Amino acid sequence: MNKIYYFLFFATFISCSEHKETGFEAFEKEDYAAAEYSFDQALQRDPNNPSHLYNLGLAQEKQKKYEEAIKNYSSALMWDKLLLDARMGRARCNAELERYKYAINDLTEYLEHRENDLEALKLRGRCYLNNDDVYEADIDLSIVLEEDPNNPGVNYLLGLAKARMGMFQSAEMLFNKAIMLDEEMEQAYHGIATVRYIKRDYEVALEYYKIAEEKGLEKNDLPIRMGMCYARLNNPVAACEEFKKIKEEKIREKLLKDHC
């Protein structure tokens, strides 16, 4: 009986190892569907293995199967609470699903163990920003920027935080730095335009909104903001042309009624 058990255990171990190795090979080839299949097969033979659960979750995350990935990351953490990569993975997925509070909770616990992880700080800063916790976002993103000053994305995100705090001069400086580092960062042009609009500098605002649009930015507020710039500059014809592009019917009809 012991020999049979040992043989079965050994055979299962070999099978799991083979599937695991195949999964890693698929990851290297960026064939995440194949990786998911391999880790799922390994998991069927060793269902409580947190490493298999994590790897399966990661393969699913790479395919944007965020709900499935969260389920497997959570199962991995149930078996090993200190599997920090699973906690980080779950935070990324919740952030993608715009569940920012859940992401922040995981990131905060993760950072208790890896306080110098810049990617985690950046992600938590972005989540704070999207959750309208701008002061917390400012703290995290400032730390990241100090360590990585030439990161265009961090400059842009911190610029957003500064703008929402009413620190418009600092915000515009950060947006300009982001553009200097990456001239294709269309969001930064949008940021400068919005700061200028708030300052009632409508000509410059309109110029930057146009650049953002030319760079390929797709934001629902662009025709609204450009239309309002034209309206403030006493160009109702151009304003109405922009308002006609608004996708939200109620907003479109109201602006057309008020300005056209």
Q: pLDDT above 70 covers what percent of the chain?
A: 92
Mean pLDDT of 1-18: 36
Same fold, 1-115 and 118-219: yes
Q: What is the pLDDT of residue 229?
A: 97
Q: What is the pLDDT of residues 76-124, one digit of tens each?
A: 999 999 999 999 999 999 999 999 999 999 999 999 999 999 999 999 9
Torsion of CA 58, 63, 65, 68, to 10 degrees: -30
Domain segments of the chain: what residues?
A: 1-115, 118-219
Q: Which CATH number fits domain 118-219: 1.25.40.10, 3.40.605.10, 3.40.50.620, 3.40.50.1820?
A: 1.25.40.10
Q: What is the pLDDT of residues 120-132, one digit of tens each?
A: 999 999 999 999 9
Whether residue 2 has pLDDT greater than 60: no
Q: What is the CATH number of domain 1-115?
A: 1.25.40.10
Q: What is the pLDDT of residues 170-196, one digit of tens each?
A: 999 999 999 999 999 999 999 999 999
